[in-house]
Chains A and B, each alone.
Chain A
Amino acid sequence: MPHRKSLSMIWRRIPERYRLEGTRCATCGRYFFPPRSFCPDCRRKGRIEKATLSGKGKVYTYTVVHVPLEGFERYAPYILAIVELDEGPKITAQIVDAEPNEIAIGMPVEMHFRRVSEDGETGIIHYGFKFAPIKA
């Protein structure tokens, strides 16, 4: 999570950051997130289309970050996980609304909308997906 990214890059990624818009290969059914425009399985036979992922998945693996990057000191300790989405892709995301002792590998989680970072006190606020344990 670098502190500064170009505005245009952030802006282009709004569909994927806000609502998990990825892609899917219509030939073999494989989902891609972040979106890809080429299916490595079907190659030239692949037909790529837009696909919004459900935002549900499970914790594939996780780590507790005690020494955060600059700009994230306030959040420490926080949980950073690789989430395996129901559709298959694995993504790295922060786990919120849970303490380190409340998280486990295989735990079902779902997407929530949170602040991801901000460009200082006067800059733009970046929003996007984080994950939390699924409500009972």
Chain B
Amino acid sequence: MVGIVGYGAYIPQYRIKVEEIAKIWGKEPETIKRGLGIYEKSVPALDEDTITISVEAARNALKHAGIEAEDIGAVYTGSESHPYAVKPTSTVVGEAIHATPKMTSADYEFACKAGTAAIQTCMGLVKAGMIRYGLAIGADTSQGRPGDALEYTAAAGGAAFIIGNNDVVATIDETYSYTTDTPDFWRREGQEYPRHGARFTGEPAYFKHVIMATKGLLEKTKTVVEDYDYFVFHQPNGKFPMRAAKKLGIPKEKIETGLLTPWIGNTYSGATLLGLAAVLDVAQPGERILATSFGSGAGSDSFAITVTKEIEKKRKRITPVRYYMERKKYLSYGEYVKHRKKIKM
């Protein structure tokens, strides 16, 4: 059955605390921390971008899967911060892990859910027998306009999933998507920073799509909340996924393992996938996971996942999400500005 053959995470080591950003703009840090449910966020090194994060995650996934890169028949990278407007991220990744040249490839964009769209594509190709393994990546190095609320959350990180039929650490039993045209968040071509339709970001965008996709998946699989051990939701801040869980009647304990945003920020296309990776790092055979992404514009992809015995065999080959969570160096706002290239030299 189609599922996850291996996965890998990557989060840059730099962090900036909410306090450090708040003091520059004369804001009260405790209010922001409480409001957004976030303490600090990850910041890429000067020489890191969506391509380098994708390669690191893909190499970790390949090691975990224990397969030959040449058996990967498709590479899809989802991001809203591809380094090039024209020239794919995925070809660099394919070349770096040496899955090239016998592979198909494309980059995906759908705000924060492009990575889960990549997983669905790989599932389809594997199920159709067109490829043996597919590599799906979600990664971002997102930026908020200085002084904008997004500056506290826009972070960097990513995860890679190898999808196939054999030796899966978890089966993907079903997937369900919910998509509409919603003007909650956008960035026009050539613009450096995104804009958001403040009134649209919560109820009609995030909550509606996450809840409809999750409910749709439960219906399609004839399962209920109680059937799952873990839930992972897209996490633009620390609050939204908790509120979505509450609306769906999910106990807090089932969402905490996959909730990373309070400590690393919103990694956009990486967020749901990193949360899922953190859950897989600790999940036991037989446990069930429901993961729902969200991308502005807007849509959600929901997945029903069951962990297999294979996970124990492969666990020693994983670099856990925890490793990247715990490895950190703090930046001052001045250093952060240099890292995010907000000053032109």
Spell out A's residues near B (CB within 8 Å).
14-15, 18-19, 52, 73-75, 96-97, 112-116, 125, 127, 130, 135
Contact = CB atoms under 8 A, between A and B. Distances in A.
A11 to B, nearest CB: 11
Contacts of B55: 113, 127
Nearest to A75: B46
Contact of A115 (B52, B59, B338): B52
A18 B92 CA distance: 9
B345 A74 contact: yes
Interface SS of chain B: loop
Contacts of A112: 52, 56
A133 to B, nearest CB: 11
A74 B338 contact: yes
Interface residues of B, number: 24
Contacts of B52: 112-115, 127
A61 to B, nearest CB: 22
A74 B45 CA distance: 11
B319 A115 contact: no
Interface of B: 13, 45-49, 51-52, 55-56, 59, 83-84, 92, 95-98, 319, 323, 327, 338, 341, 345
A14 B95 contact: yes
Contacts of A127: 51-52, 55, 92, 96
B20 to A, nearest CB: 19
A74 B335 CA distance: 10
Given A113-B59, A115-B48, 5 more contacts: A18-B92, A74-B46, A113-B56, A115-B52, A125-B51
